[in-house]
Chain A
Amino acid sequence: MTPEEFDIRRHFSILYEKIYSKPLVYLDNGATTQKPNCVLDKMRYIYEHLNSNVHRGVHYLSNQCTDLMEEARRVVARHLNAREDAEIIFTRGTTESINLLAFSFGETFCKEGDEIVVTEMEHHSNIVPWQMLCQRKGMTLRVLPILDNGDLDLAQLDTLLNERTKILCVTHVSNVLGTVNPVKDIVAKAHAKNIPVLVDGAQSVPHMAVDVQDIDCDFLAFSGHKVYAPTGIGVLYGKREYLDKMVPYHGGGEMIEKVSFSGTTYNVIPFKFEAGTPNYVGVIALAEALKFVDQIGFQYIEAHEQVLIQYTLGQLQKLVNVTIIGNPQKRSGAISFMIDNAHPYDVGMILDKSGVAVRTGHHCAQPLMERLGIPGTVRASFGIYNDKLDIDQFVKAVRVAANMLSK
């Protein structure tokens, strides 16, 4: 079946909602995506037919659920092309994945005087956990700046990475500018100095085939809900050589091998990092979402979204008082813009009344806003179900907003 015959929109019931009696134009996919019916059906099916706590059960349902959860881990591992299933740790989302890493990596490998490198375009989730680690340990956070067009200033990477650098943390795709960073090259540069790399895949995993062996990153985090799965489920991929050595993040059930009051030994990976009852329904639904995406295929998704992005850029550039923020060499997922003399929030309010869902503000990237010298942007972010009709309604609403606000 070709993607056209597959008729992607038909799988998302919410897209047929009317907003203020106008058709919904959902361009807030960078914040969260809508869920296809197969994902919703799967969740309902689990609760109706199979629900039972995983991993410890002796009974039929528990074994069924456990099998589905571990099969889901295999689906995720295959999707990312991880070497083995055990390198996939389930978390609540990208934020928790990075917090887990900052804690467990920090406690295992870092000491006073060490350094962490992040970039100027990171989401707060890839800044604050590292700041907290630095505070805890007396370490220094160093920042790789961006160029004016919104690309990373990679010329400065070499001088930033030194023998004190313990890890480099970089986003694959900027949630604000849509910049696609050359993570494979960045990883190679860091590895040349024996520095491991975390890639924040929150905004890349939904839009492109992400192959962790090809990139050769040591860690990668992403959220299920941004890739058509439910909220509350996410992934931390990590290479076994690191995960095996890292101390656990949370203590509790499932993560132990043996508990006694004189001491506790820990389970093997991935279970060492999955204390407590996991969100197994979320895990199974995530696998369903990834299968859905893989069925359409990233070859189609990337091409389709690139056409939409270029079309949107072209339409917005025709509007005299609209300024696109950032002009990265390679863009995916999002377009940020401003209407001259108008606050992004005003623009968002007017778009809302036109049935258009976008995000306004600093997008949890205040250091980036400071660098760009703006209070925030309006961000249109794309998903597999968006089409030209969406963009036309969106651009029409932007034109109305520009006429009302740009005086």
Chain B
Amino acid sequence: MNTIEEIQAEIVDEFSGFDDWMDKYSLLIELGNDMPAYPEEHRTPQNIIEGCQSTVWIYADLDAEGNVVFQADSDAIIVKGIVGLLLRVLSGHKPQEILNAELHFIDDIGLKENLTPTRSNGLLAMIKQMKYYAMAFDAKQK
């Protein structure tokens, strides 16, 4: 398993070939379509991230090795692609690693404009929720 830092570098590399926004969005749509199906039992109101114009669900669990495994979904496909990137970066890592992660890839691939608190896609709220999960699991493990 690559480190969070290595995965971010990979993503930045994959996006670096695209100057055109439409190509970037096409890739995000592809990533969104390729996401594994979100378990229906976790499609509950409490797993919905507030602040998104689309509906985003995020759920997390610990695996046997104590890594946080995230699952997520959105009814908007580009947003789903962005959540997919977040999952790829953060899922499968130790809570402490997730808490310490600095997610610079968002800026690097030109998605930073989606990161301000008032943006209607709620990307910031998603990251916050994922870090809350990590914090909760971290506290439980201690």
Max chain B Cβ within 10 angstroms of own Cβ: one of A342, A349, A360, A361: A349
User: Nearest-CB distance from A44 to chain B (Å)?
Assistant: 29
The reply on B55 being an interface residue by CB < 8 A is yes
- With contacts A345-B53, A345-B121, A361-B53 taken as known, whether A375 is within 8 angstroms of B29 at the C-beta atoms is no
In the bound complex, what is the Cα–Cα distance between A20 and B54 (angstroms)? Answer: 24
B53–A346 CB distance below 8 A = no
Of all chain B residues, which has the CB nearest A20? B21
Determine how close the nearest CB of chain A comes to the CB of B72; give it in whole angstroms.
Answer: 15
Which of B5-13, B75-83, B94-102, B128-136 contacts its partner?
B75-83
With a cutoff of 8 Å between Cβ atoms, the chain B residues found around residue A353 in the complex are 21-22, 25
Docked pose: A15 CA to B74 CA in angstroms: 34
Chain B residues with CB under 8 Å of A349's CB are 25, 78, 121
Min CB distance B115 to A, Å, is: 14
- Using Cβ atoms and an 8 Å threshold, which residues of chain A touch B53? 344-345, 360-361, 376
Shortest C-beta distance, B123 to chain A (Å), equals 12
Q: Does A240 contact B (CB under 8 A)?
A: no
B76 to A345, Cβ gap below 8 A?
A: yes
Minimal Cβ-Cβ distance residue in A for B21? A353
Are A350 and B25 interface neighbours, CB within 8 A? yes
Listed in ascending order, the chain A residues whose CB lies under 8 Å from chain B are 20, 342-346, 349-350, 353, 360-361, 375-376, 400, 404-405, 407
Interface pairs A-B: 7 shortest CB-CB: A343-B76, A353-B21, A345-B76, A345-B53, A345-B54, A346-B78, A346-B76
Chain B residues in contact with chain A, CB under 8 A?
A: 21-22, 25-26, 29, 33, 53-55, 74-79, 120-121
Selected A-B contacts with CB under 8 Å, 9 pairs: A343-B76, A345-B120, A349-B78, A349-B121, A375-B55, A404-B25, A404-B26, A404-B29, A407-B33
